A and B are shown apart, each in its own frame.
Chain A
Amino acid sequence: MIRRIWAVFRKDVLIEFRTKDSLNAMLFFGVVVLVVFNFALESVRDTMREAVPGVLWVAFAFSGTLGLNRMFAAEKENRSLQGLLMVPIDRGVLYIGKMLAATLFMLITEAAVFVLSLVFFNLTVWREIPYLAIVFLIGTLGFTAVGTLLAAVAANTRMREVLLPLILFPVILPILVNAVEATGIILNSRDYAALRLPLTIMAVFTVVLATVSYLLFDYVLED
């Protein structure tokens, strides 16, 4: 099973690194969000640090949605998904492989956006980086866990670009809210003991959403 998950993951990564369709769009979008907020928050520059967690997660969530929308594009071209569905494997394998690939693309985008945000918002955060990495990782896994399933649902509709954010954001709201809170604790109060609650909520939602998505993936792929 792991070998097959790896095959799906490697295929998606190979295609993406060759075409850079999703990564370019995600990075560009993330940077645009930072630039817009940089100007919008000019008047509150003294308290900018408090707004950064929200700005970061808006950039991550919107650019991530863009990436998820593109995730099934290669499968729709030439109906490649049809070939995948004919393989005698548990279709959950496809879900996990694709989810991990989406997570990697989001984490690359997040790393780039985060580094740029240090410049835009004049932040110094060396000691906080390990804590931020944990929050970004759990938040991203939660996002892609349900995002991969919903992207597969949206891919079969005519309005997929519009539909995905409409069905995705309400579901991931608990993860996003807690990710913003956790990022805020790390950047502002540095009371790391207070991280336990938001991280636990994020982890529980991620596990539940990933399990439900794994079980449902087979049903959303067939006509």
Chain B
Amino acid sequence: MLEVRGLAKYFGRFTALRDFNVSVGRGEFVSLFGRNGAGKTTFLRVVAGLSRPSEGLVRIHAPGGETLTPQASRGLMGYLSHDTALYLDLTAVENLRFYAELHGLPHADSDLEARLALVGLAHWGHESVRNFSRGMQQRLAIARAFLHDPEVLLLDEPFTGLDQTGTEFLRTYLGEAHGRGKTCLMATHDVPLGYEMSDRLIVIEKGLVTLDVPKSALSLDRFQELYREVAKGS
């Protein structure tokens, strides 16, 4: 589904990613771990097409196997981060309608309100997003990011700002998406949560992949031990 070869990203003299090689199969749930500044967000942004690679290539394959153009591959991906990417001066329905129109999806009020009901915002459709709590904004961001039912879910610390109910909701949502064969890449600092949700664990340090193992190969305790060692050694 996703193939990354020899990827490097420089910001001036700062190296954010170097010699980065990863392949992710269709339906895999991969968690990315690493300290702040390790390169997790940069990696997800490059995959999402929000940031241009300095070197190397990122290829997204359609479910049929053909390689997609950057524009077409954006249609297969949904990106959710701790920044909600919402317009605060629009209502929830207006936010969703705008993105539905851009994606060429049905955008009648009833369609959009049904989407809002899925994320627990059924009665908030015509309220300005500026009046939403952080957790409500994140729920709306989930509806926005996955409005077009993407094949690949790129998640950059998606649980930030969510209360317990919101966290449970997102866990269930992502679990169901994974169950339906969606490919998920999630950057997180929450090791137990990331471990529990994933099929595969990747640790990034200083822009390099330092550990890439299937979850079945390690217990949570062993993985945490290894993660601490990798972080200490770098």
**Measuring CB to CB, which residues of chain A are less than 8 angstroms from any residue of chain B?**
3-4, 7-8, 11, 14-15, 18-19, 74, 77-90, 222-223
Contacts and interface: CB of A to CB of B under 8 A. Distances in A.
B85 A7 contact: no
A78 B51 CA distance: 17
A96 B73 CA distance: 22
B51 A223 contact: yes
A16 B52 CA distance: 31
Contact of B50 (A14, A18, A86): A86
Contact of A85 (B49, B89, B98, B99): B49
A43 to B, nearest CB: 46
Nearest to B137: A78
B74 A88 contact: yes
Interface stretch (B20-28, B76-84, B176-184, B221-229): B76-84
B98 A88 contact: no
Interface string B1-23: 00000000001000000000000
A4 B101 contact: yes
Q: Classify the interface of chain B: helix, strand, loop or mixed.
A: mixed
Nearest to B16: A223
Given A7-B101, A14-B94, A86 B86 contact: no
Contacts of B81: 79, 82
B131 to A, nearest CB: 13
Contacts of A74: 87, 89
- Greatest chain A CB density within 10 A among B52, B86, B94, B98 is at B98
Given A4-B102, A7-B98, A11-B90, 13 more contacts: A14-B90, A15-B87, A15-B90, A82-B50, A82-B81, A83-B85, A83-B144, A86-B49, A87-B99, A88-B71, A89-B102, A222-B52, A223-B11
A73 to B, nearest CB: 11
Contact of B51 (A87, A90, A222): A222
A8 B73 CA distance: 21
Given A4-B101, A222-B51, A80 B75 contact: no
11 contacts: A4-B101, A19-B89, A74-B87, A79-B85, A80-B85, A80-B86, A81-B85, A86-B48, A87-B102, A223-B45, A223-B52
Contact of B72 (A84, A88, A222): A88
Interface residues of B, number: 33
B88 interface: yes
B35 interface: no
Interface in B100-142: 101-103, 137
Among B11, B48, B83, B85: residue with most chain A CB under 10 A: B85
A80 B32 CA distance: 24
Contact of A78 (B48, B73, B83, B103): B83
Contacts of A222: 49-52
Contacts of B89: 15, 18-19, 74
Contacts of B72: 88
Contacts of B99: 83, 87
Contacts of A3: 101
